[in-house]
Amino acid sequence: MHNKLIFSDHAITQAQRRGIDSAVVNYAVEFGKRMHAGGGLLRCFFDKRARSRLRNVIPRQVYAQIEKKLDCFVILSEDESVIITVGHQYQKVWCR
């Protein structure tokens, strides 16, 4: 896991507004698939492989509690130390 993730004020506001737990955000950064989001930013989200990795690492009861909350994304700064924003992912992300 990353040493120290800093939530921007915008990320804190959006996470509270959208009901996304900080634990889910941390799991997305640690286990999620990463894609370039433009402007030097990174997008972290849970695809099938990331969900499988997470399921194998955390206790089954914890995974069952957060499973429905995994449809989210996290936008990270270029150096991966600042969380810019978080949100819900409504459409499938097509990756190559």
pTM for the model:
0.85
Nearest 5°: CA angle at 66, between 80 and 41? 20
Which residue type sits at 18? R
- Residue 70 has phi, psi (to 5 degrees) of -80, 0
Q: Give the pLDDT score at 38.
A: 86
Q: Give the pLDDT score at 94.
A: 60
Per-residue pLDDT tens digits of the chain, which is 96 residues long = 456 889 999 999 999 999 999 999 999 999 999 999 889 999 999 999 999 999 999 999 999 999 988 999 999 998 889 999 999 977 666 655
Q: Give the pLDDT score at 92.
A: 61
Q: Which two tokens stand for residue 50?
A: 């990331």
